[in-house]
């Protein structure tokens, strides 16, 4: 598990010093920030394309993770654990 966390930290430029718990909290903060930036970018695209109101369906799609994607991640974790 620590390899996955360290790899994702390195990809984001997060230093992998300290404990694994430190890596996890830094990675979690970075991922939350990425999600917020993505959301702001989407809202800006809506505004630039002339939307005067935020489309509810698109907001729900952004907030609720895709079930298929979640299922794929779970299956990937199971296969990785077995291997």
Total of domains in the chain: 1
Distance in Å from the first CA to the final CA of the chain:
13
Torsion angle (degrees, nearest 10) of CA 27, 32, 37, 39: 150
Containing structural domain, residue 9: 2-82
As a whole number of angstroms, the longest Cα–Cα distance in the chain is 51
pTM (two decimals) = 0.55
What is the residue-averaged pLDDT of the chain? 79
Identify which has the larger pLDDT, 46 or 73.
46
Q: What is the C-alpha separation between 3 and 43, in angstroms, rounded?
A: 35
């Amino acid at each position: 598990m620590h390899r996955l966390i360290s790899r994702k930290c390195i990809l984001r430029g997060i230093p992998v010093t300290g404990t694994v718990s430190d890596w996890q909290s830094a990675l979690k903060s970075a991922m939350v920030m990425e999600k917020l930036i993505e959301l702001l970018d989407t809202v800006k695209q809506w505004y630039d394309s002339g939307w005067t109101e935020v489309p509810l369906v698109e907001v729900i799609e952004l907030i609720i993770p895709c079930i298929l994607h979640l299922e794929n991640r779970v299956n990937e974790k199971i296969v990785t654990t077995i291997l």
